[in-house]
Amino acid sequence: MLRPVVSKIAGEDATVDYYYVDVDQSPELAMKFGVQSIPTMILIKDGKEAGRKIGAAREADVLKFAHS
Q: Which domain holds residue 14?
A: 3-66
DSSP type of residue 22: -
Task: Assess whether pLDDT exceeds 90 at residue 45.
Answer: yes
Give the predicted TM-score (pTM) of the model. 0.84
Whether 54 contacts 40, CB under 8 Å: yes
Please tell me the total count of domains within the chain. Answer: 1
Q: What number of other Cβ atoms are within 10 A of residue 66's Cβ?
A: 19
pLDDT band at 49 (very low <50, low <70, confident <90, very high): very high
- Helix (H) or strand (E) segment spanning residue 9: helix 3-12
Task: Assess whether pLDDT exceeds 90 at residue 1.
Answer: no
Q: State the CATH number of the domain containing residue 36.
A: 3.40.30.10
